[in-house]
Structure 1
Amino acid sequence: MIFEGAISVKSLLEHNYHQVVMLYMDKQKDDRNTRYIVKLANQKGIKINYCTRSEIDALASGKTHGGILAESMPRTYQKFEDIKGNRIACIDGIEDPFNLGYAFRSLYCFGFSAVILKRRDFDSIEHIILKSSAGAFNKLAIYFSDDITQDLTKLKAKQYTIFSMQRSDLAQSIYETEYTKKMVLVVGGEKRGIAKEVLALSDTLIYIPYGNEFKNALNATSAISSVASEIHRQDLIRK
């Protein structure tokens, strides 16, 4: 698969989740980013094919590659039994790869280190996720789950507290909730929400209070940004 742009290519080379086969680089490029990428590629023994811009355009799917492409094998993912970290997110229901990338970017920026996802094939959309996440996709540990309820039960046994986003009479404001050191934030998609079994397993249901009367839900990406920011704010106060 082809990854496009300096940010995506740097992320591939800085982390060991992908086996990069070849770099394609505009022979006219010579800036700090380019030199850094060349240095990383040389350290890893990755061949660089210097091309004309038109040759790179022919290989790329878009026009925002900036003259740098990487051909790579699909990402490798962590095993659930090895899961670790105090701030874990569980996302079930975000299907759009751009939105998933935006969610990863927010989670990483606000201190999360791992994400649990329902098992699916990302091979055809990894390049979109990585680019829209601004490289955060490769900074997070990603764990696939075949049974989210069962896996969250295992995490509860390891003293993780489960916070699930759900607008209901039983939920409390994200701003009035005290988040524990070891926690899992569960977010569902706009269409299906969170499964009843997961809601029943949750320790605390949380919601985002609106500033205006509005009966519809925020999209999942916006909701993740809001609650992750509040969790990070509380972490900063405790330091």
Structure 2
Amino acid sequence: MAKPGRPGAGGKGKKGATKGSGGQGRKKLEGRGPTPKAEDRVYHKAHKRRELAERSAAKRPQQRSSAPRRRPNDDNEYVTGRNSVLEALRTRIPAAALYVAQRVEMDDRVKEMLALARKRELAVLEVTRPELDRMAGFDGVHQGVALKVPPYEYAHPQDLLEQTLEQGSTPLFVALDGITDPRNLGAIIRSTAAFGGQGVIIPQRRSAGVNSAAWKTSAGAAARVPVAMASNLTSTLKELKKQGVFVLGLDGGGDVQMPAVELSDRPLVLVIGSEGDGLSRLVAETCDQIVSIPISDAAESLNAGIAASVALYQVATLRAAQG
């Protein structure tokens, strides 16, 4: 006679998953993942509402920020050289401290620097010449003085135009396409100031920024001539064209020589390309006219800073003759 089994231990039954156990249901749901959001389902009303909102946002003009633009990861810069430092202090650009070499020669410029620094309550620090050498960089000349300034605050191109028109002046800007040497940038800023230009426009990429080398070469003009940064140079030039600014590209292969330009009395932006590559294709296609500077066959091309100076001088001369 068989012994009775323990209650619940054994008994007949089916092997494996049974209906109601959840086994079969889990197998059916494997791999489906979480339920998509409503706006991610193409047939849902929420998805159509999101598409409509994105299309509307794309049609709206890009709102420019009133906050100053800065290049990412910029550190403090040092303006060096007596003329550059004095000009920066005279024009009251933001500064953190004035550094003076030990036993510096006290000429009139240094005396005025110290007076201006005291008036602005700037820290005046006496440092060794090796320390000033470090601030000035490998090829910098400090002449015993350096001014610590925060990262340069770039204007917006549209602000340049509005401010110039508010002042009752005929706009004359210089836009740079592929100028990567900050000394060229500084020289162009200086020439822009010398020949009555109201601003310089640089692209956010593939361009030198206003650093200590540009400050030095500008001989203080960077404190008077604003530099604007364009997120996209081609788009910025197109926008200026819509507002009546004539875009004049400077290139060795131009159809018209610079002295023959008869449009100098109207709002102008001169576009300067790099010495090696010239104007980029998209920028050249955006220009209303491409002009060249006549030079001797002994030279293949002009330095970008020199080319800008010649073009600005020609425009200034024509404007003076016409007005």
Shorter-chain TM band: 0.7 to 0.9
Is this contact kept in 1: 2:133–2:140, CA < 8 A?
Answer: yes
Matched, 1:174 2:251: no
Matched, 1:237 2:321: yes
Q: What's the counterpart of residue 23 of structure 1?
A: 98
Is this contact kept in 2: 1:111–1:232, CA < 8 A?
Answer: yes
Distance 2:100 2:157 in 1: 37
Distance 2:129 2:183 in 1: 26
Q: CA deviation at 1:142?
A: 0.7
- Residue identity over aligned pairs, in percent, reads 25
Q: CA deviation at 1:55?
A: 5.5
Of 293, 301, 308, which residue of structure 2 is paired with 1:224?
308
Residues 60, 148 of structure 1: CA spacing in aligned structure 2 closer, same or farther, 3 A cutoff? Answer: closer
Whichever residue aligns with residue 75 of structure 1, its letter is Y
The structure whose RCO (Cα within 8 Å, separation 6+) is larger is 1
Distance 1:74 1:11 in 2: 17
Of 288, 306, 313, which residue of structure 2 is paired with 1:203?
288
Whichever residue aligns with residue 79 of structure 1, its letter is H
Distance 2:182 2:237 in 1: 24
Q: CA deviation at 1:216?
A: 2.3
Is this contact kept in 1: 2:265–2:322, CA < 8 A?
Answer: no
Distance 2:113 2:299 in 1: 48
Q: What's the counterpart of residue 223 of structure 2?
A: 138
Q: What's the counterpart of residue 79 of structure 1?
A: 156
Distance 1:58 1:223 in 2: 32
Radius of gyration: which is bigger? 2
Distance 1:54 1:184 in 2: 43
Q: CA deviation at 1:206?
A: 0.8
What does 1:1-239 align with in structure 2 at a 5 Å threshold?
1-17=77-93, 19-26=94-101, 27-51=103-127, 53=129, 56-57=132-133, 59-61=135-137, 64-84=141-161, 85=164, 86-120=171-205, 126-168=211-253, 171-178=255-262, 179-210=264-295, 212-214=296-298, 216-239=300-323
SS at match of 2:126: strand
SS at match of 2:279: coil
Range that drifts further, 69-78 or 49-58: 49-58
Whichever residue aligns with residue 85 of structure 2, its letter is V
Q: What's the counterpart of residue 41 of structure 2?
A: none
* TM-score, normalising length: structure 1: 0.87
Count of paired positions: 235
Q: CA deviation at 1:56?
A: 4.0
Distance 1:204 1:180 in 2: 15
Structure 1 unmatched runs, 5+: none
SS at match of 1:162: strand
Whichever residue aligns with residue 23 of structure 1, its letter is L
Structure 2 unmatched runs, 5+: 1-76, 165-170
Is this contact kept in 2: 1:93–1:191, CA < 8 A?
Answer: no
Partner deviation per Cα, 1:77-111 (whole Å, 9 max, x = no partner): 11233122311010111111222212222222111
User: What CA RMSD, in Å, does the superposition of the two structures yield over aligned residues?
Assistant: 2.4
Residues 29, 51 of structure 1: CA spacing in aligned structure 2 closer, same or farther, 3 A cutoff? Answer: farther
Q: CA deviation at 1:200?
A: 2.4
Higher strand share: 1
SS at match of 1:71: strand
Q: What's the counterpart of residue 30 of structure 2?
A: none
* TM-score, normalising length: structure 2: 0.66
Partner deviation per Cα, 1:162-201 (whole Å, 9 max, x = no partner): 1111233x61111011113311101111233212222222
Distance 1:157 1:63 in 2: 42
Is this contact kept in 2: 1:20–1:70, CA < 8 A?
Answer: yes
